[in-house]
Structure 1
Amino acid sequence: MPENVSFFAALAVGFFGGVHCVGMCGGIVGALTFGLPAETRERASRLFPYLLAYNLARITSYTVAGAIAGTVGLLGLSLVPMQQAQLVLLAIAGLFMVMMGLYVGGWWFGLTRIERFGSRLWRYIEPVGRRLMPVRSPGQAFGLGLVWGWLPCGLVYSVLIWALSAGGPLQGALLMLGFGLGTLPNLLAMGAFAGQLSAFVRRPWVRRVAGGMVVAFGVYQLMLAGARLAG
């Protein structure tokens, strides 16, 4: 499987799906920074290290989860012949790329239903994050971000299921890393730039072009799987 195609597709999904991330996580960021001194919260230069720590830790959790998913997928596919396993990987990856592209383009939002499956796991993880609040230092923010990375989110969990088909732990980690890096600009943006970025991402034509590109990646993967099956 061409990892570079999957990586950039995941990057696009993370960036253009960032409107969902801002809507869901924006309030969480506000709650996490609530305990900081007023002069820190009101000055972007002082707040940035905290936001960066949160988000780097969040992406670290995504990457670890991707490695786990890639390992699980590899172990499962080791039970079938290698050629069949490769076809299954290509088909699943292509299918999820198509679904992700439909989500990014604003044509279908069924993937968000997946997040209810993570609510049970979150019940055990959330109390750990509560013990780290209120945040007083970037190091503490990093620890809280590691917990935040496991927050139930249909978009995140959908990419994680996609990572099952990545082909191994490294490929799964890279896929989730690409997705996490894609979400970073939307969640780090502040002030006037945040408004401009949000307005750009929300434009229907921008989302449709991006979604169409991801769908095209997925169709390519499905066609490749079909050609190998026919051969």
Structure 2
Amino acid sequence: MMSISLFPVFVIGLFGSVHCVGMCGGIVGALSAAPALARSARPFPVPVRHAGVKRTAHLNVAAYNLGRIGSYMAAGALAGGVAGARTLSALPSLQLAAYWLANLMLVALGLHLMDAWRALEWLEQGGRALWRHVQPLTRALGPVGGPGKMFVAGTLWGWLPCGMVYSVLFTAMLSGSAASGAAVMLAFGLGTLPMLLSLGLAGARLRTLLQLRKVRLLSGLLVAGFGLAGVARAVGGMPSWLPTLCISPAGVPA
């Protein structure tokens, strides 16, 4: 297993999750509110306790994110296991190429967040189109908006195309084992958790705030900065503190 710092991966998930507003925010908000909407649509008035609806919404959002992060970890385990330490050691050129690609995708993601370069737009469109075909699979999985259904929805959503997830998956691949790959994606998933929990519970108000130009600019600059730090490490001549900001393991040739 290669040594890899999980803190930068967590921070990328934390600030890069502004990117999740368009991709995930709507579906989380809609599904978490589904129990209350279903009750209000009944033909006869049914007393609804606000605390009960709120508790159900919390369970739904938690279940969705548990499924989503579980899928990230499974993908990380697959990536790290397929490209194990022996394979990477035997193919240093592949290792270096994956390192460059991971960091350049972070730069592209940062520019995407800043609306400076929409290079990842095709992935976002593909993810939304695929979700329209996947979402009907949840209809036969229990009551509207129930935690079980939300868990399945989150699990399915975790496998949809996403530039941010893919950039971190390359780091999971470079980690050298299934266990470390899963750990990388767990750190990333936990970084996205505060934003996705808030989006599920606060809904449209938070989405409006996160679409502000200055918020997206700050988040994009930070995410792109991690990618540029990795590129600087690859070309050499970096200051001694820079490797602490790199998402890829020290074993990658520079």
Question: Can you list the C-alpha shifts for 1:163-198, whole angstroms capped at 9, x where unaligned?
Answer: 434443334323333333343334333699545533
Distance 1:121 1:158, change over 3 A: farther
Give the structure 2 partner of residue 74 of structure 1. Answer: 84
- Superposed counterparts of 1:1-231, under 5 Å: 2-4=4-6, 6-26=8-28, 29=31, 33=35, 37-38=39-40, 39=48, 43-74=53-84, 78=87, 81=90, 84=93, 86-114=95-123, 128-135=137-144, 137-161=146-170, 163-189=172-198, 193-194=202-203, 197-227=206-236
Aligned residues: 230
Q: Secondary structure at the match of 2:117?
A: coil
Asked if structure 1 preserves the Cα contact closer than 8 Å seen for 2:80 and 2:180, the reply is: yes
Measured in 2, the distance between the counterparts of 1:230 and 1:78 equals 14
**Cα-Cα RMSD:** 4.0
Measured in 2, the distance between the counterparts of 1:10 and 1:105 equals 15
Q: Per residue, is there more helix in 1 or in 2?
A: 1
Measured in 1, the distance between the counterparts of 2:154 and 2:253 equals 46
Measured in 2, the distance between the counterparts of 1:230 and 1:152 equals 29
Asked if structure 1 preserves the Cα contact closer than 8 Å seen for 2:96 and 2:253, the reply is: no
Measured in 2, the distance between the counterparts of 1:123 and 1:130 equals 13
Asked if structure 1 preserves the Cα contact closer than 8 Å seen for 2:16 and 2:219, the reply is: no
Measured in 2, the distance between the counterparts of 1:183 and 1:170 equals 20
Measured in 2, the distance between the counterparts of 1:120 and 1:18 equals 16
Distance 1:172 1:142, change over 3 A: same
Distance 1:183 1:71, change over 3 A: same
Gap runs ≥5 in structure 2:
41-47, 238-251
- What TM-score, normalized by structure 2, do the two folds share? 0.67
Asked if structure 2 preserves the Cα contact closer than 8 Å seen for 1:70 and 1:165, the reply is: yes
Displacement after TM superposition at 1:49 (Å)? 1.0
Gap runs ≥5 in structure 1:
none
Asked if structure 1 preserves the Cα contact closer than 8 Å seen for 2:107 and 2:227, the reply is: yes
**Higher mean C-alpha deviation, range 121-130 or range 132-141:** 121-130
% same residue: 35
Displacement after TM superposition at 1:154 (Å)? 4.8
